[in-house]
Chain A
Amino acid sequence: MSATLRAPEPADTSQPSPAGAKGGSLAEKVLRLREFSIGAALVLLILATWLVNPSFLDDQGIKDLLLNASILVLLATGQSVVVLTRNIDLSVGSVVGLTAFACGSFVSGTDHSAVTVLLLGIALGTVCGLVSGALVSFGRVPALVVTLGMLYVIQGLDHAWAHGEQINAANVPDAVLTLGSGSVLGIPYLPILSAVVLAATAYFLRAYGSGRELYAIGSNPEAARLAGIPIRRRVLTAYAFSGAVAGLAGALWLARFGTVVADAANGWELTVVSAVVVGGIAITGGVGTVWGAALGALLLTTIGSALVVLKVSSFWEQAITGALLLAAISTDRVVRGRTTRALRKRSRQ
């Protein structure tokens, strides 16, 4: 009998690592929880506002909400990719301003197609992103300094070029304006475009090696170097992507508003970074999803729109955005500490 009572495995093979089964899901659960709670907050906010003012959710209300959110969602998607690598791109607001104005100047009084405008915007944005990216990755200048510098340089260029002039909707070809106001099956083009870019980015980050490497770089740069990941090339690409998306957003800005002044999207960079961080992407890189960032962008936009509907002074919007940002970063720190400790405890048992 005693022979059959022997354990199938030597006892010590399983002993050092009983952490196993549930450990992974814990960290993932925390992230899910974060995305879930933002989603819940969003739904609550929309419901509450709707109860106070039912016009918030009529056809036009929903359309406005989607249109307002789409550019911020787009920018947040681009920003996420950069923040995941433990970097930041503060120049996106000015890139939007520059490309919106440049595209406007290019098409004013012509009959260029919407596609041409989009391509021009993307190309111009990519160039801006490549300059920032090259300085950060190959020049080894801290991202904060580079992109802050780029923010002012691009803004300055934009103002010098515009010289107080503005692009008038009357001069913008109809094909371009239709892109901003038209819709398919009742859904405006803008949010569709944003959703496509968002989904493609999310898929790329998950399904492709270079996407995973962006996470690796942000999580542990030294280990990434030892693992042979081409860090500089990846970071450069992340900035080029962020720039391209900002350029696309600039072209869409023109399509949406028609009338563009030189400082369009001025100050947006901080809203974009807030959206990304509120959406669960760690400012220290390596953690989070673009879906979360998009939810963050949606939440910030909705707060803005709800305040208008509720007739609250728009100054509150900034205060609320700031408070959310602080809350998000503080919870990140606390939660990360707690999960690390919890995981470690499980490993020790």
Chain B
Amino acid sequence: MSKTAPAGADPAPVLALKGVSKSFGSVRALRDISLELRAGESHALAGENGAGKSTLIKTLAGVHRPEAGTVLLDGEPAVFHGPADARDAGIAVIYQEPTLFADLSIAENIFMGRQPRRTLGRIDHAAVHAATGALMERLGVDLDPGRTARGLSIADQQIVEIAKALSFDARVLIMDEPTAALTGSETARLFSVVETLRTEGAAVLFISHRLGEIFDLCRHVTTLRDGQLVASEPLEGLTEDELVRRMVGRDLGELYPKQEARPGGTALTVRRLTREGVFRDVSFDVREGEIVALAGLVGAGRSEVAQAVFGVDRADAGEVRVNGQALRAGSPTAAMRAGLALVPEDRRQLGLVMDASIERNIGLTGLRQLRTRGLVRRAGERARASDWALRLSLKYGRLSDPVGFLSGGNQQKVVLAKWLATEPSVLIVDEPTRGIDVGTKAEVHRLLSSLAADGLAVLMISSDLPEVLGMADRVLVMHEGRLVAEIPRAQADEESVMAAATGRAGSRGEAA
């Protein structure tokens, strides 16, 4: 793969940001960011979760309007009133989560909003179908253009997204972690397509958590941290360690204050848990005082396992035991009573009632204990909330403020408080630090670590590899609905976890 641009001086930027800032409420997502994308050049965007990468992409895609600074298209200031404007300017975006219409056919998904027309402005369905077939051929995949998108694997959905970008000969191709859910061969296929587009003159902006891919594919890297620009430089001469330090801003040891674990008895036992078509034969234990990470690619079925363990989804087969007692399947109430707590991935949708106050949210799991003759005691609710706010060093104005006013990190603390208040013996956390600033992230890590030191069994689902490696006593790895590896802390490194997560046989740790 050639990384060099065509001979001669740097070509003029096709798309650029100049001094762009963007805030959401009190959170400043981007501060004075500048970036230049050149034709025929692959540019990497690096940064931790919550650094502002997604916001930056959505600004380039016309989804967000910057409140300061300008977007430059071919050197001229451009205002995108919406995603359609950006698309018409030749900017294609492939989001982390594929955005397909499940009920419509693949062909319709690709050409939605810009179908070829025949007389009287009618859609030329035959042309749509044929063009889709041609795109699939160009991508070397065997997908029927007439098939509905419902039920497509993540990799195939990604392919449809790429076909969409190809279909309008994008001049700028922006990819937000496109390889997160792909296997090795799928990634190679994707990269060869991207390389073809690049040599044909497209500018590429590439985001990946796999640093190796960044070094393979890109020539230039821009690093963000907490919404600010850290550096924009050629990758040549840069080492992976240097890049990580730019992203994180401190040493990893400082970031992951892991205390020595002294595992006790088995707190959570999962045996042959199966949900048809989602995951199969998942068995593992979590002991008191231990942090076990559940790693894997997006779509491997990790969150689904957590939800089945907690009883939100009903498993088709298998058994869950908490402190030796079998759990009634499909009942979160029974799970809570047995001492299980689940902090879900999506705190806005599943973890919090955004319009309700901090104290109400924290009190939500304890309505049973807070009740006298069927009525909830306000004073008890407030006492419980202020107690936990103090213990988690929550930053807030008043406990009666709506949770929606808090920053992401503090919202996450409220979710944690809400569940810790039930005094669980097993805590399941799903992506505990997604979208949280680095400072608060470290606080959450310190908290999890000290909870484990006090004897709590912690099962942590995380896509953040440094977090997995920094926090876990043991790493369980899932691949396509199966538990494929169990790697002890000493042997867990980026290579071994990624190898198992991408299903590369032979390089597994101690297979579970």
Contacts from A to B (Cβ < 8 Å): 9-10, 12-25, 27-28, 206-209, 212-213, 215-216, 218-220, 222-230, 282, 286-287, 339-348
- Which B residues lie within 8 Å of A287 (CB)? 103
Residues on the B chain within 8 Å of A13, using CB = 140-142, 189
For residue B144, which residues in chain A have a CB less than 8 angstroms away from its CB? 19-24
CA distance A241 to B93 in the complex (A): 34
**Interface pairs A-B: 7 shortest CB-CB:** A343-B151, A228-B84, A24-B147, A223-B99, A219-B101, A23-B147, A228-B83
Q: Are A286 and B148 in contact (CB under 8 A)?
A: no
In B428-475, the 8 Å CB interface with A consists of none
Q: List 13 A-B contacts (CB under 8 A).
A: A13-B141, A19-B153, A21-B144, A24-B147, A25-B146, A207-B123, A212-B112, A215-B104, A222-B99, A225-B83, A228-B87, A339-B151, A347-B151
Taking a contact as CB atoms closer than 8 A, the residue among A12, A23, A218 that contacts B151 in the complex is A23
Q: A17-B141, A18-B142, A216-B112 are in contact. Are A341 and B276 (CB under 8 A)?
A: yes
Q: Is B155 an interface residue (CB 8 A)?
A: yes
Nearest opposing residue in chain A for B186, CB measure: A16
- Tell me whether A17 and B122 are in contact (CB under 8 A): no
Q: Chain B: how many interface residues by the 8 Å CB criterion? A: 51
Check: B82 CB closer than 8 A to any chain A CB.
yes
**Which chain A residue has the least Cβ–Cβ distance from B147?**
A24
Q: Are A228 and B113 neighbours in the complex by a CB distance under 8 Å? A: yes
Q: Are A345 and B147 in contact (CB under 8 A)?
A: no
The CA of A12 and the CA of B95, in the complex, are separated in Å by: 25
CA distance A206 to B123 in the complex (A): 8
The B interface, classified by DSSP as helix, strand, loop or mixed, is loop
Knowing A220-B100, A226-B83, the reply to whether A212 touches B123 (Cβ < 8 A) is yes
- B101 lies within 8 A of A17 (CB): no
Chain A residue with Cβ nearest B62: A228
Interface flag for B185 (CB, 8 Å): yes
Max chain A Cβ within 10 angstroms of own Cβ: one of B93, B156, B277: B277
At the interface, yes or no: B386 with Cβ under 8 Å from chain A?
no
- How far is it, in angstroms, between the C-alpha of A227 and the C-alpha of B141 when the chains are bound? 23
Whether the Cβ atoms of A19 and B147 lie closer than 8 Å is yes
Instruction: Give the distance to chain B from A122, nearest Cβ to Cβ, in Å.
Output: 22
A216-B112, A223-B100 given; A24·B105 CB < 8 A: yes
B121 A208 Cβ-Cβ under 8 A: yes
A-facing residues in B110-161 (Cβ within 8 Å): 112-115, 117, 121-123, 125, 140-144, 146-148, 150-153, 155-156, 159
Q: With A and B bound together, what is the CA distance between A62 and B125 in angstroms?
A: 38
B-side contacts of A286, CB under 8 Å? 101-104
Determine the distance from Cα of A345 to Cα of B141 in the docked complex, in whole angstroms. Answer: 18
Q: B86's closest neighbor in chain A, by CB?
A: A228
Contact of B381 with A by CB under 8 A: no
User: B148 near A209 (CB under 8 angstroms)?
Assistant: no
Inter-chain CA distance A282–B431, complex, in Å, is: 33
Q: Which of B308-356 contact A (CB under 8 A)?
A: none
**Contact code string B169-206 (vs A, CB < 8 Å = 1, else 0):** 00000000000000101100100000000000000000
A28 to B149, CA, bound (A): 12
Chain B positions 17-58 with a Cβ under 8 Å from a chain A Cβ: none
Give B116 Cβ to nearest chain A Cβ, in Å: 10
Task: List the A side residues contacting B150 at CB < 8 Å.
Answer: 27, 339-340, 343
Determine if B108 is an interface residue (Cβ-Cβ < 8 Å): yes
User: Is the Cβ of B122 less than 8 Å from the Cβ of A208?
Assistant: yes
Asked if B113 and A227 sit within 8 Å, CB to CB, the answer is yes
Instruction: State whether A24 touches B148 (Cβ < 8 A).
Output: yes
Q: Do A341 and B141 contact each other (CB < 8 Å), given the known contacts A216-B101, A224-B101, A347-B152?
A: no
